[in-house]
Structure 1
Amino acid sequence: MEMATVWEWVGYAASIVVAYSLMMSDIKKLRWWNLVGAALFVAYGLAISAYPVALVNGFIVFIDAYYLVKIYQHEASQV
């Protein structure tokens, strides 16, 4: 399989994962799935030199990670 084709499939997988994340009612699951999808989009964007795609999704990874840390810290303080 050609590398271009592999990266196309990574882009499709990223789209599916992000769409799946938006169907979550649990915010933790939504953040985790969205983080994975955005990370895949970062890899995809860098691989095909689509730097705006990589940049925006890198920011989304950061946002998801930030809120996941806040969620887990809040849960830990509740114990």
Structure 2
Amino acid sequence: MNPETATYIGYSASLFIVLSFILKDVRKIRIVNMVGCICFVIYGIFSGMLWPVIIPNGMICFIQIYHLLADKKK
């Protein structure tokens, strides 16, 4: 991947994370935050396997999925 494209994905990830702090609905927060985390994982992979970026954001993504699925059961 082009390094410039990876940079844009990183900026997009930051934007989604910041946006998630603006929202009030918990479900929307989780979805927007999850999109940001996915973007950060992609950014970390295409920027040279940046494990300190990939691991926590991958874990947060799975936590968001867990809570989104758990909230549907209620």
State the TM-score, normalizing by the size of structure 2: 0.94
Structure 1 Cα separation of the partners of residues 65 and 58 of structure 2: 11
Cα-Cα RMSD: 1.1
Shift of 1:52: 1.3
Percent sequence identity is: 33
Q: Report the equivalent of 1:45.
A: 44
Displaced runs of 4 or more, over 4 A: none
Aligned 1:1-79 pairs, distance under 5 A = 3-48=2-47, 49-74=49-74
Q: How many residues align?
A: 73
Question: Whose radius of gyration is greater, 1 or 2?
Answer: 1
Gaps of 5+ in 1: 75-79
TM-score (norm 1): 0.88
